Structure 1
Amino acid sequence: MNLSLGVKALIFIICALASAIVGIVAGLISHKPNTPKGPAVLYGAGAFGGALTLCLVALTSLSVL
């Protein structure tokens, strides 16, 4: 696929925003009341990184990026 740089940037931003939603939800689910927020933030950051990596690898294998 011959996509312009602007379209590729838009696709990357959409992937990053979707991954941010996944990370936020994972952090909220892993947080327990009356405990520090640090482990939940790290869990959410790991989920964000995993989701972004998975999204970009899938799009690269489809020759979109």
Structure 2
Amino acid sequence: MAEVAEKPRNLIRLKDAIQRYSLSRSTFDRAANAGVITKHKVGRATFLDTYQIDAFITGECQSV
């Protein structure tokens, strides 16, 4: 049986995403609350998918 191929995830820490994209933590929180990006928690660290962040910035995703 063939499996459905998912887009590969490129996860970075939230604090690194803040520096890389020059956006505030509250901007990422609002995007996550709107369902535009997904936060992945591992222990106390929060990770974000760079593909979702890029789509959010360029406006390629639909906000809820």
TM class, shorter-chain normalised?
under 0.3
Structure with higher strand content: 2
Larger radius of gyration: 1
TM-score scaled by length of structure 2: 0.25
Structure with higher RCO (Cα < 8 A, 6+ apart): 1
